[in-house]
Amino acid sequence: MTIVGNFIGGKITHSASNETIPVYDPATGKVVRELTQSTAAEVEKAIEVAHAAFPEWSKTAPLRRARVMFNFKALMEKHREELAALIVSEHGKVWSDALGELTRGIEVIEYACGIPHLIKGENSPSVGTGVDSYSLMQPVGVVAGITPFNFPAMVPLWMFPIALACGNTFILKPPALDPSASVRMAELLKEAGLPDGVFNVVHSSNEDAEQLYKDPRIAAVSFVGSSGVAEHIYKTASAHGKRVQAFGAAKNHAIVMPDADLDATVNAIMGGAFGSAGERCMALPVVVAVGDDTADKLIARLTPLI
Partner 1 sequence: MGPVVSAAHQKKVLGYIDKGEQEGAKLVVDGRGIQVAGHAEGYYVGGTLFDNVTSDMTIWREEIFGPVLSIMRSSDYDSALQLVNSHEFGNGSAIFTSNGHTAREFVQNVEAGMVGVNVPVPVPMAFHSFGGWKRSVFGALNVHGPDGVRFYTRMKTATVRWPSGQQTVSEFSMPTLG
Smallest gap from Cβ 282 to partner 1, in A, equals 5
Longest dimension (CA), the chain: 76
Between 196 and 279, whose beta carbon lies closer to partner 1? 279
Distance in angstroms (rounded) separating the CA atoms of residues 161 and 72: 9
Do 230 and 250 contact (CB within 8 A), yes or no? no
For residue 20, state whether it binds partner 1 (rule: CB under 8 A).
no
Please report how close the Cβ of residue 18 comes to partner 1 at its closest, in angstroms. 24
CB of 16 to partner 1, least distance (A): 28
Quick check: is 113 catalytic? no
Residue 29 found at the interface with partner 1 (CB under 8 A)? yes
Q: Which of 250, 258, 265 is nearest to 289 (CA)?
A: 258
Among 135, 216, 239, 241, which residue interacts with partner 1 (rule: CB under 8 A)? 135
- Pairing type for strands 142-146 and 169-173 reads parallel
Residues numbered 68 to 107 that lie near partner 1 (CB under 8 A) are: 88, 91-94, 97, 104, 107
**AA identity, residue 193:** G
Question: At its nearest, how many Å lie between partner 1 and the CB of residue 231?
Answer: 6
The size of the interface with partner 1 (CB under 8 A), counted in residues, is 106
Binding flag, residue 61, partner 1 (CB under 8 A): no
The single residue of 99, 229, 281, 295 carrying the catalytic annotation is: 281
Q: Which of residues 179-218 bind partner 1 (CB under 8 A)?
A: none
| DSSP H or E run through 253 | strand 253-256
| CA-to-CA separations, 180 to 6, 104, 106, 171, 228, in angstroms, rounded | 10, 18, 17, 15, 26
Q: Between 162 and 181, how does the x/- string for binding to partner 1 read (CB under 8 A)?
A: xx--x-x--------xx---
* Residue 33: strand pairing partners: 23
Among 138, 206, 214, 216, contact with partner 1 (rule: CB under 8 A): 138
Other Cβ atoms within 10 Å of 230 Cβ, number: 19
Find all residues with CB under 8 Å of 24, minimum gap 6, and list them: 30, 31, 32, 90, 177
- Residue 56 touches partner 1, criterion: CB under 8 A: no
Q: Which stretch binds partner 1 (CB under 8 A): 40-48, 64-72, 193-201, 223-231?
A: 223-231
User: Least distance from C-beta 56 to partner 1, angstroms?
Assistant: 18
Q: What is the dihedral of CA 29, 285, 156, 26, to 10 degrees?
A: 0
**How far apart are the C-alpha atoms of 242 and 240, rounded to whole Å?**
6
150 binds partner 1 (CB under 8 A): yes
Q: Show contacts with partner 1 in window 267-286 (CB under 8 A).
A: 268-269, 271-286
Could you tell me the smallest distance in angstroms from the CB atom of residue 107 to partner 1? 4
1 binds partner 1 (CB under 8 A): no
| The three-state (H, E, C) secondary structure of 164-219, written as one string | HHCCCEEEEECCCCCCHHHHHHHHHHHHCCCCCCCEEECCCCHHHHCHHHHCCCEE
Is 289 near partner 1 (CB under 8 A)?
yes
Shorter beta-carbon distance to partner 1: residue 11 or 235: 235
Catalytic residues: 281
